[in-house]
Amino acid sequence: MSVKSENNKRIAKNTFLLYFRMLFTMGVSLYTSRVVLNTLGVEDFGIYNVVGGVVVMFSFLNSSLATATQRFLNYEMGQGNALKLEKVFSIALTGHYLIALSVILLAETIGLWFVSTQLEIPAERMHAALWVYQFSILTLAVSIISVPYNAVIIAHERMKVFAYVSIAEVSLKLTVVFLLVYLSFDKLVLYAFLLLVVAVIVRMIYATYCKRNFTECKYRFIFEKDLFAQMFCFSGWMFTGTLSNLFSSQGVNILINMFFGPIQNAARGIAYQIQGTVNAFVTNFMVAVQPQIVKSYSQGNYSYMYKLVFMASRYSFYLLFLLSLPVLLQTQYLLQLWLKNVPDYSVLFTQLVVIDLLINSSFTPIASVAFASGKIRNYQLVVSAGYLLTFALTLLFYQLGFPSYVAFVVAIIISFIGLFARLYVLRHSVHFPSKKYIHKVFLVQAKVGIIAIVIPAVFVYYASPTFFHFAITVLISSVSIAGTTWCWGLGPEERLYIRNKIRGYFHRKI
């Protein structure tokens, strides 16, 4: 079996394992979100989202180094350099401990002042909100120091471990929800504390496994100037995009709180819960593909890398569209079925967020090219400009009296323009075939999307909001997308490969 064939087989196996993990976690998460919303109430749920959002803002210090850690581990593994791999891990772990300490210091000063004086929180719930804030800080710190261990598991493509630990984590969170229902302590504070306990347990599991199975995870303090400079230069440019993203995500969340109050924060929280659940399909697929993209680049196999990027972009969109279309067409019924008590604006927010997600589906595959090459300065400047523009325009429109949903409309427009800007940068920095990408990926996605939506949309227009009609919507959408993808979304080689696999399966059965 060829190396490429073996790599493709590994990607398929790892994708299956990650989807198994995702389906389990998705089902449990949807249930727990409903119970948490009903147990806490809309106001406390909104408070948890906005206070947690402030804490998440400090994660920008971690996100950039986390991406650098994953990139350098993948790269050195592709090079087969065991000594360099050990050095990368040790430097990364030292960096993450320093970042965790920095996050705590910033959160306990600037962040604490902001939560206490600037957020719109009812006076009688401020004490509980401050406890939630403290527990959320510690949860984030624990998550930060877990990153290098997670990155090693992904670099080794041990997705089975990643899947099993994630299932254990979501099972613990389900236990938290049951405790929340039956214990009489302040439920908002209790929820935040128990999530901290879960984070500590999961961190211990990851660390123990890595130390027992990977030699590079035996930590020792290392300061190698050149490697340190490479990793933190990469992190520095990643930092610009991460910090800007905070203004586009959590910054906008805070603007919604300041202009419209915590009820609309709850609606936004619901919308992004659905976004995260749907996006998990693409995220899991890219977790399986990304190590191969970076390793291919490190080995100089650019043709295979571009093939992977084109494939990942198209398949990411198809998977996302398969899940998104029923959500877009039946949002009101779906939220009513899931939550029963649906916060105002949740339907519109959810629809706009999912549309933005579909546009963004190609961002991760093409970003992998920039990350693999290490030439990320111009790419990150374009990314940062888009995020900052989203925040600035949202603030301007809110001050002019526009409704809350304008933030999501702005994000959609900026995302669409940003796709072409990113392709332009990659064309000049790493000679990425951007024109071919637009023709082979973007236009194909657009054709599939436009054609596939027609029949399901007509059905929903005449259907009543019942579970039976929702099930029919899912069925019609699936058939429409599958048929359209087969006719216009796949190349001749891909269709031939699928036919051969189906024939082989039935021959084995016979």
**Predicted pLDDT of residue 61:** 67
Interior angle at CA 205, CA 200 and CA 207, nearest 5: 95
**Predicted pLDDT of residue 7:** 61
337 contacts: CB under 8 Å, gap ≥ 6: 467, 470
Whole-number percent of the chain with pLDDT over 70: 95
Classify residue 340 by burial, with Cβ atoms within 10 Å: 0-12, 13-18, 19+.
exposed
Smallest CA-to-CA distance from 405 within 277, 281, 264 is with 264
What are the pLDDT digits (tens) for 41-50? Answer: 777 878 887 8
**pLDDT, averaged across the chain:** 84
Whole-number percent of the chain with pLDDT over 90: 25
What are the pLDDT digits (tens) for 330-347? Answer: 999 988 888 777 888 899
The CA distances from residue 347 to 269, 270, 431, in Å, are 12, 9, 42
What are the pLDDT digits (tens) for 255-293? Answer: 988 898 888 888 898 888 888 877 877 777 777 788 788
Q: Which residue has the higher pLDDT, 223 or 429?
A: 429
The residue type at 23? L
Q: Which residue has the higher pLDDT, 291 or 432?
A: 432
CA-CA distance, 268 to 346, in Å (whole number)? 7
* Residue 181 confidence (pLDDT) above 70: yes
Q: Which residue has the higher pLDDT, 18 or 346?
A: 346
Average pLDDT, stretch 421-448? 91
**Predicted pLDDT of residue 391:** 93
* Residue 480 confidence (pLDDT) above 80: yes
Tokens 């579909």, residue located: 358
**Predicted pLDDT of residue 4:** 58
**Predicted pLDDT of residue 8:** 61
Classify residue 445 by burial, with Cβ atoms within 10 Å: 0-12, 13-18, 19+.
buried
457 touches 400 (CB < 8 A): no
**Predicted pLDDT of residue 330:** 92
pLDDT band at 445 (very low <50, low <70, confident <90, very high): very high
CA-CA distance, 62 to 151, in Å (whole number)? 13
> What are the domain boundaries of the chain?
3-297+348-432
* Residue 459 confidence (pLDDT) above 90: yes
